[in-house]
């Protein structure tokens, strides 16, 4: 496995691989890797000749400086994990490599980023689009892999690819959960054992109530989920929205969409967790 820190270095390597006719798969990450990332990596390895993983904690997508400072970082451990998984190249650039000049681009995603994460984390998706477009520009992958846990991010990336007319296939990958149901996230590392037990209730409640969703109206289901989660000692719901899975716009009634998705953000102590569920 090659660990490369510079844009020039990775570009040279990718150019020569492409000349050899190799297909390039790409998994962008911010490190602190877990089984969720591994599922993207495995798919990437099986679909492509070359799998490149980036590890870059992108400052422009953090609207909360504290969150950026506390974001878990362990490059050495992550590299060992990726080497074992069979990754060919790890690209771990510095902030200066990615942003030699401040990135002042402002994307317009219409209504997609005006709700949920976009509403509660102003500027977050603009930062995500800045870094992902920059990474795509450097690596020029054939396919790129993103987890469905960040459901709204996936919609933003797809819209960005469309707007910039990029020639990359976006491959969505299902949420990976612990045996308890808790959606895997790098932020779970920051939960103490009691908080972790409480955090399990998030998936327990949203998945449990998704089994008989049609016994409720959209608004009733929202209310029940929010109330049940807020009853748990250390949990505080920031939002729970039921949206059309394509437009990301909240629905009022089930017949408003054929693809209803419930998206939630919950504070467990000071750790912010997100999850989602599709209503079939
Ligand atoms: O999902 C993430 O880890 C990040 O938002 C991403 C896509 C790597 C961009 O920094």
Q: Which of 166, 168, 161 has the alpha carbon at shortest distance from 128?
A: 161
Residues 200-233: tens digit of each pLDDT: 999 999 999 999 999 999 999 999 999 999 999 9
Q: What is the model's pLDDT at position 253? A: 98
With cut-offs at 50, 70 and 90, classify the pLDDT of residue 107.
very high
Structural domains of the chain sorted by starting position, each given as residue range(s) with its CATH number in brackets = 2-173 (3.40.50.620), 186-275 (3.30.1300.10)
For range 84-88, the mean pLDDT: 98
Distance, first Cα to last Cα, the chain? 41
Going by CA atoms, what residue is nearest to atom 3 of ligand 1? 29
Residues 134-168: tens digit of each pLDDT: 999 999 999 999 999 999 999 999 999 999 999 99
With cut-offs at 50, 70 and 90, classify the pLDDT of residue 172.
very high
Tell me how far apart the alpha carbons of residues 206 and 259 are, in angstroms, rounded to a whole number.
16
Residues 225-240: tens digit of each pLDDT: 999 999 999 999 999 9
Tell me how far apart the alpha carbons of residues 168 and 158 are, in angstroms, rounded to a whole number.
10
Q: In the chain, pLDDT over 70 holds for what percent of residues? A: 100
Going by CA atoms, what residue is nearest to atom 6 of ligand 1? 29
What is the Cα 125 distance to its own chain's centre?
11
Residues 114-123: tens digit of each pLDDT: 999 999 999 9
With cut-offs at 50, 70 and 90, classify the pLDDT of residue 63.
confident
Ligand 1 atom nearest the C-alpha of 150 is 1
Query: Residue 25: CB partners within 8 Å, gap ≥ 6?
Result: 44, 45, 47, 48, 50, 51, 52, 141, 142, 143, 144, 145
Residue 68 CA to ligand 1 centre (angstroms): 13
229 lines ligand 1 (CB under 6 A): no
């Amino acid at each position: 496995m090659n660990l490369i820190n510079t844009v020039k270095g990775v570009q040279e390597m990718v150019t020569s691989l492409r000349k050899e006719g190799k297909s390039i798969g790409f998994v962008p990450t911010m490190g602190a890797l877990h089984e969720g990332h591994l599922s993207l990596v495995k798919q990437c390895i099986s679909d492509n000749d070359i799998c490149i993983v980036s590890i870059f904690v992108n400052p422009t997508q953090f609207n909360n400086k504290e969150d950026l400072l506390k974001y878990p970082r362990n490059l050495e451990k992550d590299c060992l994990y990726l080497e074992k998984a069979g990754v060919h190249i790890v690209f771990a650039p510095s902030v200066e490599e990615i942003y030699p000049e401040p990135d002042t681009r402002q994307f317009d995603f219409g209504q997609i980023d005006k709700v949920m994460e976009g509403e509660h984390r102003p500027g977050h998706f603009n930062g995500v689009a800045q870094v992902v477009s920059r990474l795509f520009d450097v690596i020029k992958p054939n396919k790129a892999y993103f987890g469905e846990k960040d459901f709204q991010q996936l919609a933003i990336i797809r819209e960005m690819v469309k707007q910039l007319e990029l020639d990359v296939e976006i491959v969505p990958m299902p949420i990976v959960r612990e045996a308890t149901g808790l959606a895997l996230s790098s932020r779970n590392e920051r939960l103490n054992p009691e908080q972790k037990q409480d955090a399990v209730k998030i998936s327990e409640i949203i998945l449990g109530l998704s089994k008989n969703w049609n016994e409720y109206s959209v608004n009733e289901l929202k209310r029940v989920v929010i109330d049940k989660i807020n009853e748990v000692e250390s949990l505080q719901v920031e939002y729970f929205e039921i949206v059309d899975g394509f437009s990301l716009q909240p629905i009022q009634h089930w017949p408003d969409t054929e693809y209803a998705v419930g998206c939630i953000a919950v504070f467990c102590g000071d750790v912010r967790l997100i999850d989602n569920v599709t209503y079939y």
